[in-house]
Amino acid sequence: MLNFLIRSVSMGLVIAVLVLLAVPTLRPGFVATTLESEPTDAASLQVSFNKGVRKAAPAVVNIYSRQYQENDKKKLSTQGLGSGVIVSDKGYIITNYHVVANADQIIVALQDGRVAAAQLVGKDQRTDIAILRVEGSNLPVIPLNPDYSPKVGDVVLAIGNPYNLGQTTTFGIISATGRSSISAGGIQAFIQTDAAINQGNSGGALVNTQGELVGINTASFQQATDLETYGISFAIPYPLASKIMEKIIADGRVIRGYIGIDGQDINSVTARLLGNEHIGGIVVLGLDPNGPAAMGGIKVQDIVMMIDGKKLNGRQGVLDLVTDLRPGTTVDMTVLRNSEQITLQVTVGEDSRE
């Protein structure tokens, strides 16, 4: 009996030693060492976006819109307040159209103390974009990342000059993308965020945690008083703002293609009936009777599937594609009419609507 107990105890000790060797976390000293190595200072555990802000903030400028006084055309007074973003070392600044719409003079103040009168390169009321330019050396340029795609839930920071208090950064997430119903005619897809965008923030930068430009802050959904935003604000996606900037720099204005159709996305049920190859197409519901599409033979209830050989991605995709076409260009439009696929030629016109 004694020998059996001795053997059992010995076997238990051997197993215990092997287990301790195999699993270090079971050792008493390991737990104490681990606890000692854990940070005890709460400040060392905090999350900070300071690095991203420091990259982006110098390139976000204050913009002051000045107008001549009605009773004295020799005197200028500041009538508007906003922000802007330096996106090029050549001094190009993106801001909102409504910030400078009625300005007789535009003053730009950099965060390093420099102040300069800005040249208005061009503006586009439909997208609420204006492009300014300032002269200067060693201008701060905001980080740009063409590969970044905004997603719902991404953390974003809004940088601007609300109420002329001085540069301020607010924090939030991307609440939604592709918000087109708030724009004129529903033709522009905004980024929705709960980062506060107040008066003076318009034209400022919406950036990600790396300080990379995500969008141009433009509007907030306000009720009750001017000071309440209820966490619903909107920004123009940077790819759209950049496209508008390139058009303005090239032509002094935005030249848009126009074919004169309005349509509705094919729903999932209709797509299954027609076949998956028709997903992305639109049903024509309205036609400008004197527009290029009508002149080219397009009819109401036609299903537009391709334009210029490119498959479509819904109504917004059609608008984006047509807008980028140069007026005078002739394109092939592939449509489905009475279950028959036909191709019609349409000569693109210029969209002169504001």
pLDDT in tens, 88-125: 999 999 999 999 988 889 999 999 999 999 999 999 98
pLDDT at 292 over 80: yes
Banded model confidence at residue 53, pLDDT cuts 50, 70, 90: very high
Reply yes or no on whether 278 is catalytic: no
Tally of CB atoms within 10 A around 185: 10
Identify how many contiguous H helices and E strands the chain contains and give both numbers.
Answer: 8, 21
Query: What's the burial of 13, exposed, middle or buried (CB within 10 Å: 0-12/13-18/19+)?
Result: exposed
Identify the H or E element spanning 205: strand 205-208
pLDDT at 183 over 70: no
Catalytic residue among 98, 175, 278, 302: 98
pLDDT at 69 over 90: no
Q: Measured between alpha carbons, how far is 12 from 200 in angstroms, rounded to an integer?
A: 74
Identify the H or E element spanning 62: strand 60-69
Catalytic residue among 65, 83, 124, 128: 128
pLDDT digits (tens, 9 = 90+) for 8-33: 556 665 565 555 555 555 555 544 44
Q: Measured between alpha carbons, how far is 84 from 101 in angstroms, rounded to an integer?
A: 14
Q: Measured between alpha carbons, how far is 49 from 274 in angstroms, rounded to an integer?
A: 49
Reply yes or no on whether 98 is catalytic: yes
Q: Is 330:279 a contact under the CB 8 Å cutoff?
A: no
Banded model confidence at residue 298, pLDDT cuts 50, 70, 90: very high
Tokens of 10: 């010995």
pLDDT at 191 over 60: yes
Q: What is the pLDDT of residue 262?
A: 85
Range with the poorest average pLDDT among 50-54, 177-181, 216-220: 177-181
pLDDT digits (tens, 9 = 90+) for 225-245: 554 546 688 999 999 999 999
Q: Is 87:61 a contact under the CB 8 Å cutoff?
A: no
pLDDT digits (tens, 9 = 90+) for 303-333: 888 888 888 877 777 888 888 889 999 999 9
Name the average pLDDT for the chain: 82
Reply yes or no on whether 128 is catalytic: yes
Catalytic residue among 83, 175, 183, 202: 202
